[in-house]
Copies of this chain bind each other. A is one copy, B any other.
Amino acid sequence: MRLSRYFLPVLKETPAEAQIASHRLMLRAGMIRQQAAGIYSWLPLGYKVLKKIETIVHEEQQRAGHIPLLMPTLQSADLWRESGRYDDYGEEMLRITDRHGRDMLYGPTNEEMITDIFRSYVKSYKDLPLTLYHIQWKFRDEIRPRFGVMRGREFYMKDGYNFDLTKEDALHAYNRHLVSYLRTYERMGLQAIPMRADGGPIGGDYTHEFLVLAETGESEVFYDSEITDLKFGSREIDYDSVEQCQAVLEEFTSRYARTDETHDEAVFAEVPEERRRSARGIEVGQIFYFGTKYSEAMGANVQGPDGKPVPVHMGSHGIGVSRLLGAIIEASHDDKGIIWPEGVTPFHVGIVNLKQGDEEADAACESLYKSFEALGLDPLYDDRNERAGGKFATMDLIGLPWRITVGPRGLKNGVVELTCRRTGESEELSPVDAVEKVAMIYAGLKG
């Protein structure tokens, strides 16, 4: 993309309403615009990152054998009356009446609807196991929306639901989700720690939250410092293997790691003192096993091997897709702006032309631009008639991990400058070598 043709409304001033870095930076970098309390437009740059994150979530869900579908945003109240949650849910549920006076609601989650879909079609244990998921806009009418997309009202979320014949099978689905979530977050450059959590209104005996450590996190967390040394890395997993998934679960959850909701001082005291940590964390996902709660309430039975109907065992598993943008920025920024991890960056590389209009500089930039495009990479070329300082400030603010600076002086020596946003380090390279180096970095990403 050429910046002169893009729509990137960066702000010079720091918006007064933003209390935390991610909110501030998303507004300043022209990623979002508030349209009403807790409701945002995703401007082109923000939308691009949102799509990158969504794509990673889709790829990892499908790698784990989960099947995508899409449920609508609006639901009939009747479904929620069946489960008993229509009255329980309280004021966070946005209730709507249509022109015929029917009670509707903007879905805050989808346990009821997916159970309805399941019971309508699946009749035999032979069709299990089955995990269906979708990524869809949801609404929770938060009384005090804040922190930008971190606690918005209209938010984008992946929610998946497993259907299994037995508790044992459902716990494998639980473990499979845990494994796939670890992989998902790592691809986004995040360390998200699974912590024992509280069931809350969805219910559930088994549940873990995934938390990203950040000073601005809404939860206080307590953990054994060994846990931050764990990496999922490039290991190959057979998601059908009960043993492999169980082993990953044990590796990542055997050390102490809890939010304040489930924190137990006595158990924590057993961790050697030098490894005890308390910090703040941002929740970016949660997995639940809740047994037959919804299947019994809503009659989601299958015919078992003995011919008798049995309610299916279920779980639900969520990733906060829109919230992840905020979490990633909280975990990865400096005083100049955002620092995108390579896995989610909106553009792979920025090209800064120090002297727009200079024949050689323009030609070198065009050539770099076309080389990246030919390699399937997505460059952002700042081709505006602006001073170098302004161009650098914009690139730093929007946080592209790599920048190539092109100027007449360097070109005389046959070089451009390649700068790493995270370290600030630069090196001079020939244009060909600069392209090759950037291409190598992205080729090495797992995907």
Q: Footprint of B on A, CB under 8 Å?
A: 5-7, 9, 30, 33, 35-37, 39-44, 46-48, 50, 65, 67-76, 79, 91-92, 94, 96, 98-99, 102, 104, 106, 113, 116-117, 120-122, 130, 132, 134, 137, 139, 141, 143, 153-154
A7 to B132, CA, bound (A): 8
Chain A's interface: helix, strand, loop or mixed, by majority? mixed
In contact, A121 and B74 (Cβ under 8 angstroms): no
Question: B residues within 8 A CB of A106?
Answer: 74, 96
Asked whether, in the complex, the Cβ of B98 is within 8 Å of the Cβ of A69, the reply is: no
Closest to A384 in B: B126
B42 touches A130 (CB 8 A): no
A99 and B69 in contact (CB under 8 A), knowing A35-B75, A132-B7?
no
Contact B35 A76 (CB under 8 A): yes
Contact yes or no, A44 B69, CB < 8 A: yes
Establish whether residues B141 and A98, one from each chain, have CB atoms under 8 Å apart when the complex forms.
Answer: yes
B47 and A120 contact, CB distance less than 8 A = no
Q: In the complex, which of the residues B41, B71, B75, B99 contacts A143, with contact meaning CB atoms closer than 8 Å? A: B99
Contacts of A72 in B (CB 8 A): 35, 39-41, 137, 154
Determine how close the nearest CB of chain B comes to the CB of A374; give it in whole angstroms.
Answer: 17
Given A41-B117, A47-B69, A70-B41, answer yes or no on A91-B99 (Cβ-Cβ < 8 Å): yes
Q: Complex: how many Å from CA A74 to CA B73?
A: 11
| Complex CA–CA separation, A132 to B73 (angstroms) | 24
A73 and B70 in contact, given A35-B113, A65-B5, A130-B7 (Cβ under 8 angstroms): no
A92 to B98 Cα, complex, angstroms: 9
